[in-house]
Chains A and B, each alone.
Chain A
Amino acid sequence: MDIRLQDITKRFAGRGRRSQGETVAVRELSFQVPDGSLVGLLGPSGCGKTTTLNMICGLEKPTTGRIFFGDKDVTDLPPELRGVGMVFQNYALYPHLTVLQNILFPLENLKGAARPSRQEMRRRATEAAALVQIEELLDRKPRELSGGQQQRVAIARALVKMPRVLLLDEPLSNLDARLRLQTREEICKIQKKTGITTLFVTHDQEEAMSISDRIVVMKEGVLMQEGKPQQVYDDPASLFVARFLGTPPINVFKARVQAGELWLANRPVLAVPGVADREVWAGVRPEGFIPDEAGPVVCTPERAEVLGRDLSMVCSHPDARDGALRAILDPACGLRADAETVRFSLRADKVLLFDTETEQRIPFAADKGAAR
């Protein structure tokens, strides 16, 4: 069953005496979570992601707009009638109940015909626990569990009612780096196993890119772009999306287009056919630099960071927006940080042009892989 948001706007009344105005947390947001897919809702802090999640789950009501689960309009339904499972950022496990009691809690809320027998409840709770591999922890209290284990209990509790939609609010932000990697694979695996339509909120682009089938990028309550992770990465609609996705972030240069060529520091560096003469922001992904002794991009190396698999080289460049650029290179390329200058040519498919005013993308017919 898919989730569809249609022109959702959420306004909050201004608080306090001075700020009489209202805050618009989400503005005319429309997107779709396809049936059975894992979608990452991505954006910087305060961009309205959690508000969006709360509206889908029913904790908050949109000011205008409709929310559909499949063909059913659920905008006015309370959370318990929507069939959603939610995992909170801090897990919200009841500290005085054991793991088993926590997982049983949603089932015990059911009334009348929907209420399963005691044995059935237990069977379903152990089944959910088995799914997230915490069967041996059922008698423990939440405080006796590690962060990762608590997370699994929270997922089991969200899944035990067999919801049609699973929502996760910043599921990995409370975990340490190693556990984060492990848990995100775990979430991905559980989602594939159950096939449940899942939406998760994160501010960490790597997290979103790595496990999502699709990502939705938001900024200040407005949808910036949605699509498959690779597609959004390769083909960002705006400078914001380009900068938000990718670690290390994209390098931005103040550049100029003249006669179908991109000019950096008074040198033509790349053919950009079909772009009129103008000032542009030129974004170059860190992996878009090719060491080339005759290359047109000349810069001064500052330091090299050896990351094992890659070599990350920071160089200063006069036209770079923050004074420096970062290139991800092959450690075997032979470039040295103590060299006078290094020269690169650019991979056309890793170069993106943006309008200096609107910061929107300016497309050009990239000759794939061709370097000048």
Chain B
Amino acid sequence: MNNGSKKAWLYLLPALILLGAFLVYPLIDVLIYSFEEGYNFASQTYWGIGGYNYSYVLHDPYFLQALKNTLILVAITVPLSTGLALLISTGLSSIRPLRQLYQTVYFLPYVTNTLAVGLVFMVLFQKTEYTDGLVNLMLQWFGGPTIDFIDGPYWAKMFVLCFYTIWVVMPFKILVLTSALASVNPDYYKAARVDGTSRTRIFFRITLPMISPMLVYLVITGFIGAFKAYSDAVALFGTDLNAAGMNTIVGYVYDMLYGDSGGYPSYASAAAILLFAIVLTITCINLLVSRRRLED
């Protein structure tokens, strides 16, 4: 090891120690937990090593429900929120008057507390004995049937969860995309105008490729964020997510540790490792696809 690289390691040390203590060590620990069968939290003992925890989790209907919920949430919210954010930020960059105001308005949800927003959504969508809620009132005006979105059919609950998630994650995406759009050199647009390029062609052939690195970033972080959804569901449906049938994988992990049915760190660890594997796979696929795209 030469002097230069010794120095480099020295400078990296603080970060490496923190990462090791709070990221790498716990990850390995979780991996070990997940293979320890019959682990007893009080006596810190276990029977043996094996895959039973995984088999239990994979056969647990609550986990399968949580997995299904999470996958639906990811599949709906990531493309929709990114697409809508792209649409809105494109719109924002092409208007002049009151642009700052609109940007602020669109960014507000980002600085608002998730649980507070969840409460507002619940009030809007819930149907109780005392009130139908604003959304149901509107449905009635248009002659539709009233539905309890918070405590009703599965698809209604899923709709609210997706709606809410999109609403919460969009501001950040709009912010990133607006600045990405603003950083495209206006000379490209001038050159395109001299050549008589249509607006749609400018958007798809110039704007989109120019901001694609930012789009890739948003899609990848979007996937990861949606897979880790939990607080959103709690904000809307309360802490007993299994009963509501709206649990997510992270919610399942939490319940296994601390919930009413909790006290099973081994099952929680196995579920956490499964989530980790899914997120890792999806992210790798994302990177591969986007790299091939960008290289074209």
Point out residues on A near B: beta carbons under 8 Å.
57-59, 78-81, 84-86, 88-90, 92, 94-96, 105-106, 109-110, 161
Contact = CB atoms under 8 A, between A and B. Distances in A.
A80 B196 contact: yes
Interface string B112-131: 00000000000000000000
B197 A109 contact: yes
Interface string B23-45: 00000000000000000000000
Given A109-B195, A109-B197, A109-B198, A59 B190 contact: yes
- Greatest chain A CB density within 10 A among B188, B196, B201 is at B196
- Greatest chain A CB density within 10 A among B193, B194, B201, B206 is at B194
Interface string B165-204: 0000000000000000000010110111111111001000
B196 A92 contact: no
Contact of B194 (A86, A90, A110): A86
28 contacts: A57-B194, A59-B194, A78-B196, A79-B193, A79-B194, A79-B196, A80-B194, A84-B194, A86-B191, A86-B194, A88-B190, A88-B191, A90-B185, A90-B187, A92-B191, A94-B205, A94-B206, A94-B209, A95-B210, A96-B209, A96-B212, A105-B197, A106-B195, A109-B195, A109-B196, A109-B197, A109-B198, A161-B195
Nearest to B210: A96
Contacts of B196: 78-81, 106, 109-110
Contacts of B191: 86, 88, 92
Contacts of A110: 196
Contact of B195 (A89, A95, A96, A105): A105
A109 B206 CA distance: 13
A79 B193 CA distance: 7
A69 to B, nearest CB: 15
A95 B198 CA distance: 19
A105 B201 CA distance: 10
A202 to B, nearest CB: 18
B261 to A, nearest CB: 52
A151 B183 CA distance: 23
Interface of B: 185, 187-188, 190-198, 201, 205-206, 209-210, 212
A90 B184 CA distance: 13
A26 B192 CA distance: 25
Contacts of B195: 79-80, 105-106, 109, 161
A358 to B, nearest CB: 39
Given A105-B205, A109-B195, A109-B196, 17 more contacts: A58-B194, A78-B196, A79-B195, A79-B196, A84-B194, A88-B187, A88-B190, A88-B191, A90-B187, A92-B187, A94-B209, A95-B210, A105-B195, A106-B195, A109-B198, A109-B201, A110-B196
Contacts of B197: 105, 109
A96 to B, nearest CB: 4
Nearest to A107: B195
Nearest to B190: A59
Contacts of B190: 59, 86, 88, 92
A57 B192 CA distance: 12
A59 B194 CA distance: 7
B205 to A, nearest CB: 8
Contacts of B201: 109
A368 to B, nearest CB: 48
- Greatest chain B CB density within 10 A among A84, A96, A106 is at A96
Contacts of A161: 195
A296 B126 CA distance: 103
B244 to A, nearest CB: 47
Nearest to B201: A109
A85 B194 CA distance: 7
A86 B206 CA distance: 18
B185 A92 contact: yes
Nearest to A60: B190
Contacts of B185: 90, 92
A85 B193 CA distance: 11
Contacts of B187: 88-90, 92
A92 B189 CA distance: 9
Contacts of A57: 194
Contacts of B212: 96
A106 B205 CA distance: 12
B76 to A, nearest CB: 30
